[in-house]
């Protein structure tokens, strides 16, 4: 396939993923963005900034190089592009990134708390608590806010020695969730699951304020039957 055809396919997938987010109830107005990277080709395709979903077309998707520089005349990229770029630079197996302000994940971000792994719904997708970053500093926000948002996510995963593919989501303190995956379809699913488990965890703590997290052996069972070399869930 030639370069143009590959980029066209990326634009169609990124467009469809961006539409899937409001459809799943994760995005209101234009509060979200999805992107995909092709490292061999050296391109990132991302949603344009502030274009209403009703009038958005696949052709409006913005194409940049791996540093986030525009490669063609067109619309401005999502203002969160620098966050996506930093995540692609540091999470080498990640090929798609999504940001939303989905309500329940944002609630945990605003509370400044990790989302605990309370059950197997969580464990099927996230191998442990979904981390909440530290607050950005004044200097970071004033210097290069979107890039620093990416850096604080990477810092959180490095400091806690987390594998971004085993926990394909984060919540940025006071802001909201970023999710990712090896494919855009997986990243969309991860965004949906994240908001579901965020809501369940919130309700759990109302029902049982001292709710225990899922035991390690059950977390292992559910995560590893779906992921990794020993996975057996689903169809071959």
Is 189 one of the catalytic residues? Answer: no
Dihedral sign for Cα 101, 105, 110, 112, please.
negative
CA angle 149, 28, 7 (to 5 degrees): 65
Catalytic, 233? Answer yes
- Enter the tokens of residue 208: 């049982």
Question: Which one from 53, 124, 189, 202 is the annotated catalytic residue?
Answer: 124
Distance, CA of 224 to chain centre: 21
Please report which residue ranges of 39-137 form alpha helices under DSSP H.
81-90, 103-111, 120-123
Q: Report the 10 Å Cβ neighbour count for 215.
A: 9
List the catalytic residue out of 65, 159, 220, 233. Answer: 233
Residue 18 burial (10 A CB sphere; 0-12, 13-18, 19+): buried
25: number of Cβ within 10 Å: 12
C-beta atoms surrounding 121 within 10 Å = 16
Q: Considering only CA atoms, which of 48, 37, 43, 56 is closest in space to residue 74?
A: 48
Helix ranges restricted to H, the chain: 3-23, 81-90, 103-111, 120-123, 138-159, 184-207, 216-226
Catalytic residue set: 124, 233
């Amino acid at each position: 396939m030639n370069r143009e055809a590959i980029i066209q396919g990326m634009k169609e997938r990124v467009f469809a993923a961006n539409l899937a987010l409001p459809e799943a109830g994760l995005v209101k107005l234009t509060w979200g963005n999805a992107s995909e990277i092709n490292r061999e080709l050296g391109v990132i395709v991302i949603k344009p900034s502030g274009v209403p979903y009703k009038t958005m077309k696949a052709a409006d998707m913005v194409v940049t190089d791996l540093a986030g520089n525009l490669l063609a005349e067109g619309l401005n990229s999502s203002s969160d592009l620098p966050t996506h770029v930093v995540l692609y630079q540091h999470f080498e197996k990640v090929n798609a990134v999504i940001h939303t302000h989905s309500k329940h994940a944002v609630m945990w971000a605003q509370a400044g708390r990790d989302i605990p792994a309370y059950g197997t719904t969580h464990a099927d997708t996230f191998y442990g608590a979904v981390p909440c970053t530290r607050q950005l500093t004044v200097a970071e926000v004033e210097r290069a806010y979107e890039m620093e948002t990416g850096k604080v996510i990477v810092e959180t995963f490095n400091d806690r020695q987390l594998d971004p593919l085993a926990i394909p989501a984060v919540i940025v303190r006071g802001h909201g969730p970023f999710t990712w995956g090896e494919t855009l379809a997986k990243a969309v699913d991860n965004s949906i699951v994240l908001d579901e488990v965020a809501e369940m965890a919130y309700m759990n703590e109302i029902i049982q304020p001292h709710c225990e997290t899922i035991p390690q052996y059950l977390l292992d069972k559910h995560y590893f039957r779906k992921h990794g070399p020993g996975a057996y869930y689903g169809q071959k």
